Structure 1
Amino acid sequence: MFRRHLDYYVRYLDHDIPAGVVVFLVAVPLCLGIAVASGAPPFSGVISGIIGGLVVSLISGSQLSVSGPAAGLTVIVATAVEKLGFDAMLLAVALSGLLQLGMGFLRAGVIGAFFPSAVIKGMLAAIGLILIMKQLPHAVGYDADAEADLSFLEDDSHTRLSFLFDAFRSFSTGAVIVSVVSLAIMLLWDTPYIKKHRYLSLAPGPLVAVLFGIAYNIAAQTLVPALAIAPQHLVNLPAIFGPIDFAREFSFPDFTRLIDVQIYVTAATLALVGSLETLLSLEAVDKLDPLKRIAPTNQELKAQGVGNFLSGMLGGLPITAVIVRSSASIDAGAHTKVASFVHGVLLLLSAMFLASLLNMIPLACLAAVLLLTGYKLAKPKLFVQQYEKGFNQFAPFAVTVGAILSTDLLKGMTIGMAVGLFFVLRANYHSAFTLTRDGRNYLLRLQKDVSFLNKAQLRNFLENVEEDSYLVIDGTRAGFIDQDIMETIQDFIKAASDYNIRVELKEMRGLQPVNGLVPAE
């Protein structure tokens, strides 16, 4: 068995190793950028990327999914860092991993199917908008401290807007140049011309943008110092060279906060949202897989649980399966999980031996990467598409976006789910029955499974059946008929003879003929 598995992975090394290099180049700016966006040390983003590559990929049942820090969790992490502190946030991450591990053993991998797609899309769009709001100050080189970066998370909407206005009044010309050109480079790299070019297509757009930012700042420091990027607007990784220095930079959870209820609330939120994002990414990766393999969802939850526990224990950010890095891996020709593992090895080596190079990256470059990520999550086209799908889809979507922006992610998702559930029940209520009339003949058809929620509509339809008529109640299309519905029909049948209404039942098992009832042939 082991030999067969080993042969399988060795067979595709010529595809997986180059793909792993590509994913590594995509992951470096994303790991650093997501850490900065979360208000956490950049090193924490690298740690979670390494664990996602080296640990999660080995345990996961998915061959092509790549795990690491996710933009979708930045809001939760930023709020936790601000309100609880970084060490307490690590404790919440570790606990969320244990929760995910438990969810995997409880076979909760189906939870993604119970969230309406409109609510999911609303959550992602709101996260995209928040990412844009958070990264604009970095993109313009606003000289604010780390806490000010999170001021938009407060309840006062005036504070959020005034913070953004202050950022645009106090910008750095060099940072603006870097962020604008970086955005232009990444947009250019998404065009068909670059994708079709034999050599240019090998370099990921974010990496090209980062290399430009480093080259620009080196040139500006020498030629035009006034346009150089200030040191406080560069990545600030610890001075690391070698495994010993690397191990010294680990951060550990604050276990004294185990009695804090907010730790458990944050952990539960991370576990739920992270699991949901993982399962959605897994579904998307399965659709992109050229070999059409289906990854086991419960095993993926276990893998993410182990990864998040280790990440929290060693000072990393929460981990999920991420579609950006996964799709980059697939596009680069990956066939197995070796590609993800290679990307983890390269992240580890870069953190150990290339920290001085990574510290030359302007934050404006990373802001540009995250701004584009935020835009892709909250494209105007997405809002138009949801609107065109009708009010039943647009209302939960819009409410989720507005609720998350005005409260927080957990409350916003709760409100969005409540609205989504209302529209599901509303649609179910209106489509459960149809009543057709032809003179004195009526056909009441149960269109699908019906429950007590449809009892009021059933009574309304039965009241519309006139005296001296013939009614057929057809349950052929219903796989399940709730007892309340059966009793309502039985009560109607008992009173039908008083109004000279004859009733015929088709596939209505469990009802007894009484009075004017005509059983089906």
Structure 2
Amino acid sequence: MQRVSPLRTFREYQSGWLRQDLPAGLSVFLVALPLCLGIALASGAPLFAGLVAGMIGGIVVGFLSGSEVSVSGPAAGLAVIVADAIAKIGSYEAFLVAVILAGLMQLVLGFIKAGRFSSLFPDSVIKGLLVAIGVVIVLKQIPHALGRDKDYEGEFEFQQLADGENTISEIYRAIETASTGAVIISALSLLFLIVWGRIADRSRQTSIKNFPVALVVVIMGIGLNEFFRVSVPEWYLGDTAHQHMVQIPTVAPGKSLFSIFDFPDFGALGDLKTYSIAATLALVASLETLLNLEASDRLDTAKRVTSPNQELIAQGIGNTLSGLIGGLPVTSVVVRTSANVYGGARTRVSTILHGVLLLLAVFLGGPLLNLIPLSCLAAVLIMVGYKLAKPAVFVKAFKDGWSQFIPFIVTVVGIVFTDLLIGIALGTVVGILFVLYSNFQSTFQMIRNGHNVTIEFEKDLYFLSKPQLKEALGSLQPGDDVLIDGSKAHFIDHDIYNMLRDYQDIAVVQGIRYELRDVALKKRVRKRNEEVIATD
């Protein structure tokens, strides 16, 4: 696998960025725009804070990251933590100090190489993470596609804080209250995306493969909605249902540009709550980043390997800057990364471009972008979600065997019906249990030849092997000649040793000839001592 170099010159990107990264950057921008706003709303923060985090995640983290495809920005997984932290600390300005401190903590984690712990997550769990995110994207975007926007864009938890519904009941409510205009826009957008996707798959022309299809869908959505305004007012999604449109905050008349920024209140440094909030943000944001980075590397078509320590440093710098100018905390985000990869991205240029476009959108394109219906963006996201969670992925996971499929499906179900971190934790625990089960299934082998029986230890024996070994001893018959061979085991657990010694008395009563060969407590220590004596 190719390891990503931390520094690359712009000249190395020039040959391909316009053809592949420009359309991908546009796609990510269109997806990220409502997500940044929605996550800010769900966090109880100013809407502009979400856009600031998106800009920092795109431009700063995108430039410093070791990944060529990962996209960072405000994360749905932090929304509840942020909302609770703002309430505890008293103001958003004080909370920004915690964001700055969290960024500095991430820098320290990067420098001490804490990113190595990302490799501890089982492969089946990372696969489950990607599929689960795909499923959640589809489920969460169906209401927006039908014109119901009670739940914030970007919220991915099953239980919805915005309206008291959950993912499933929200879809039911959306079907009950479906807007004809939104349904028409999302249906035509989906149809166009599907048809164009098939054409692009069959075509060999680069111009067709790299066509900015998401941009066309957005233009089509705006055009249809404006047509409804003139010809079919009852289907129009603007004035009567403004919540269904993208809503970029604008500078109030007579106010300066800096009036929409928030700046940290460093007086919060005297409050101990600031430090506990910062530690929580640093821990959760780093964990989400490392998980998403593993997923990003898996999505990367060039199969490049990213340094997790470099990513933590990039995220730390990003969060420090985001806090200084009023932004939410940032992490690497699978949704935007997926949109980036499936948009055709090859290098970090697409990530940086999406951040630049967010910047331009706020200061130059607000009135135009506020004409975009969320239903057409929902269609774009539904296609991204489907590509992540195709039925073929489930079939392949099943064919990999139960030890891979069970942790995979537990992760998927856990994320879909709880949230990302709980789902990952459940999948990881199940994955580790399967590893332990598989490992302790092969700790010894029992060979019977008539009444001659050999129980040979294949590796170290711990207490988890006790039930299986007890069953093997219980199967011995009167007249058996039994040899317990522990020569291959460097360590034998105390419980195992006692059981083997106790069975000697049982063997005498049952008429079994029973011999222990090279079986002792703390054999690893004993052998090491023998080696030292021999050396002397």
Coarse TM-score class (shorter-chain normalised): 0.7 to 0.9
* Among 210, 222, 230, the residue aligned to 1:214: 222
CA contact (8 A) 1:37 1:78 kept: no
CA contact (8 A) 2:21 2:346 kept: no
Any idea what SS the aligned residue of 1:110 has?
helix
Distance 1:121 1:202, change over 3 A: closer
In the TM superposition, what whole-angstrom CA distance separates every residue of 1:297-318 from its partner, at most 9, and x where no partner exists? Answer: 2112221222233334432452
What residue in structure 2 maps to residue 140 of structure 1?
Answer: 146
Distance 1:141 1:431, change over 3 A: same
Give the distance between the partners of 2:218 and 2:102, measured in 1 at CA.
Answer: 32
Give the distance between the partners of 1:386 and 1:396, measured in 2 at CA.
Answer: 10
* Among 324, 331, 343, the residue aligned to 2:338: 324
What residue in structure 2 maps to residue 519 of structure 1?
Answer: none
Q: Does 1:228 align with 2:236?
A: yes
* Among 66, 76, 100, the residue aligned to 1:74: 76
Deviation at 1:362, TM superposition (A): 1.2
In the TM superposition, what whole-angstrom CA distance separates every residue of 1:447-480 from its partner, at most 9, and x where no partner exists? Answer: 445434324433443454555525262655x6x5
CA contact (8 A) 1:104 1:299 kept: yes
CA contact (8 A) 1:434 1:444 kept: yes
Give the distance between the partners of 2:283 and 2:14, measured in 1 at CA.
Answer: 39
Deviation at 1:237, TM superposition (A): 0.8
Deviates more, 1:192-201 or 1:481-490: 481-490
CA contact (8 A) 2:36 2:54 kept: no
CA contact (8 A) 1:404 1:412 kept: yes
Distance 1:54 1:246, change over 3 A: farther
What residue in structure 1 maps to residue 531 of structure 2?
Answer: none
Structure 2 letter corresponding to 1:65: V
Any idea what SS the aligned residue of 2:441 has?
helix
Deviation at 1:183, TM superposition (A): 1.8
Q: Structure 1 length as normaliser, TM-score?
A: 0.77
Give the distance between the partners of 1:113 and 1:299, measured in 2 at CA.
Answer: 15
Q: CA RMSD in A?
A: 4.3
Structure 2 letter corresponding to 1:319: T
What residue in structure 1 maps to residue 378 of structure 2?
Answer: 367
Give the distance between the partners of 1:65 and 1:151, measured in 2 at CA.
Answer: 28
Distance 1:237 1:510, change over 3 A: closer
CA contact (8 A) 1:238 1:355 kept: yes
What residue in structure 1 maps to residue 62 of structure 2?
Answer: 57
Deviates more, 1:38-47 or 1:178-187: 38-47
CA contact (8 A) 1:66 1:325 kept: no
Deviates more, 1:172-181 or 1:204-213: 204-213
Give the distance between the partners of 1:511 and 1:491, measured in 2 at CA.
Answer: 19
CA contact (8 A) 2:128 2:411 kept: yes
What residue in structure 2 maps to residue 15 of structure 1?
Answer: 16
Distance 1:14 1:58, change over 3 A: same
Any idea what SS the aligned residue of 2:250 has?
coil
Q: Structure 2 length as normaliser, TM-score?
A: 0.75
Structure 2 letter corresponding to 1:354: G
What residue in structure 2 maps to residue 307 of structure 1?
Answer: 318
Any idea what SS the aligned residue of 1:153 has?
coil
What residue in structure 1 maps to residue 431 of structure 2?
Answer: 420
Distance 1:510 1:90, change over 3 A: closer
Deviates more, 1:365-374 or 1:265-274: 265-274
What residue in structure 2 maps to residue 188 of structure 1?
Answer: 195
Any idea what SS the aligned residue of 2:445 has?
strand
Any idea what SS the aligned residue of 2:372 has?
coil
Deviation at 1:31, TM superposition (A): 0.9
Distance 1:445 1:206, change over 3 A: farther
In the TM superposition, what whole-angstrom CA distance separates every residue of 1:86-117 from its partner, at most 9, and x where no partner exists? Answer: 94886775565444333323322232322233
Matches within 5 A, 1:322-471: 322=334, 323-324=337-338, 327=341, 331=344, 334=347, 337=348, 340-465=351-476, 468-471=480-483
* Among 273, 294, 300, the residue aligned to 1:259: 273
In the TM superposition, what whole-angstrom CA distance separates every residue of 1:33-77 from its partner, at most 9, and x where no partner exists? Answer: 322553637644543332233222333334x2332237xx42542
Any idea what SS the aligned residue of 1:444 has?
strand
Deviation at 1:120, TM superposition (A): 3.8
Matches within 5 A, 1:6-45: 8-38=9-39, 40=41, 43-45=48-50
Structure 1 letter corresponding to 2:192: I
CA contact (8 A) 1:94 1:312 kept: yes
Distance 1:497 1:412, change over 3 A: closer
Give the distance between the partners of 1:47 and 1:460, measured in 2 at CA.
Answer: 63
In the TM superposition, what whole-angstrom CA distance separates every residue of 1:195-250 from its partner, at most 9, and x where no partner exists? Answer: 53442322233222112112222333334333322241221112369xx9665433
Distance 1:348 1:502, change over 3 A: same
Deviates more, 1:205-214 or 1:380-389: 380-389
Give the distance between the partners of 2:171 and 2:484, measured in 1 at CA.
Answer: 65
Deviation at 1:320, TM superposition (A): 0.4
CA contact (8 A) 2:246 2:374 kept: yes
In the TM superposition, what whole-angstrom CA distance separates every residue of 1:157-200 from its partner, at most 9, and x where no partner exists? Answer: 97665543332222321111111122222223332546534423
Distance 1:295 1:406, change over 3 A: closer
Structure 1 residues without counterparts, runs of 5 or longer? 513-521
CA contact (8 A) 2:115 2:308 kept: yes
Give the distance between the partners of 1:382 and 1:96, measured in 2 at CA.
Answer: 36
Deviates more, 1:212-221 or 1:150-159: 150-159
Any idea what SS the aligned residue of 2:485 has?
strand
Give the distance between the partners of 2:163 and 2:10, measured in 1 at CA.
Answer: 54
Distance 1:117 1:107, change over 3 A: same
What residue in structure 1 maps to residue 180 of structure 2?
Answer: 173
* Among 100, 106, 110, the residue aligned to 2:116: 110
Any idea what SS the aligned residue of 2:293 has?
helix
Question: What is the identity percentage for the equivalent residue pairs of Structure 1 and Structure 2?
Answer: 34
What residue in structure 1 maps to residue 491 of structure 2?
Answer: 481
What residue in structure 2 maps to residue 199 of structure 1?
Answer: 207
* Among 500, 506, 521, the residue aligned to 2:513: 500
What residue in structure 2 maps to residue 281 of structure 1?
Answer: 296
Deviation at 1:430, TM superposition (A): 1.9
Deviation at 1:32, TM superposition (A): 1.3
Structure 1 letter corresponding to 2:179: S
Deviation at 1:281, TM superposition (A): 1.5
Distance 1:316 1:27, change over 3 A: farther
Distance 1:419 1:177, change over 3 A: same
